[in-house]
Amino acid sequence: MAQGQQPLAGKRVACLAADGVEDVEYAQSRAAAEQAGAEVHLISLQSGEIQSMNQDIDPANRYRVDRTVDEADPADYDALLLPGGTVNPDRLRMSPPAMDFVRAFFQQQKPVAAICHGPWSLVETGMVNGRTVTSFPSLRTDIRNAGGTWVDKQVQVDNGLVTSRNPSDLPAFCATMVEQFAQGEDVRHMATA
Residue 187's pLDDT band, with cuts at 50, 70 and 90, is low
How many domains, in total, are found in the chain? Answer: 1
CATH of the domain at 179: 3.40.50.880
20, pLDDT greater than 60:
yes
Q: Decide if 77 is inside a domain.
A: yes
Q: Classify residue 192: in a domain, yes or no.
A: no
For 101-122, the pLDDT digits (tens) are 999 999 999 999 999 999 999 9
State the catalytic residues: 116-117
Residue 133 domain-assigned? Answer: yes
Task: Tell me, yes or no, whether 189 lies in a domain.
Answer: no
Average pLDDT over residues 10-39: 98
190 domain residue, yes or no: no
Q: How many residues does the chain have?
A: 193
Query: Is residue 99, in this structure, part of any structural domain at all?
Result: yes
Residue numbers of the domain that contains 38:
3-184
The confidence score (pLDDT) of residue 188 equals 55
* Residue 41 per-residue DSSP state: E
Helix %, strand %, coil % of the chain (to 5): 40, 25, 40
Q: Convert the pLDDT of each residue in 130-150 to its tens digit.
A: 999 999 999 999 999 999 999
The rounded percent of the chain whose pLDDT value lies above 90 is 92
Q: Is residue 39 part of a domain?
A: yes
Give CA–CA dist 108/188, Å, rounded. Answer: 9
Among 83, 19, 75, 80, residue whose Cα is nearest residue 47: 19
| Residue 193 within any structural domain of the chain | no
pLDDT tops 70 at residue 3: no
- Considering the entire predicted model, what is its pTM? 0.94
pLDDT in tens, 82-98: 999 999 999 999 999 99
In this prediction, residue 191 carries a pLDDT of 45
**At 186, is the pLDDT very low, low, confident or very high (cuts 50, 70, 90)?**
low
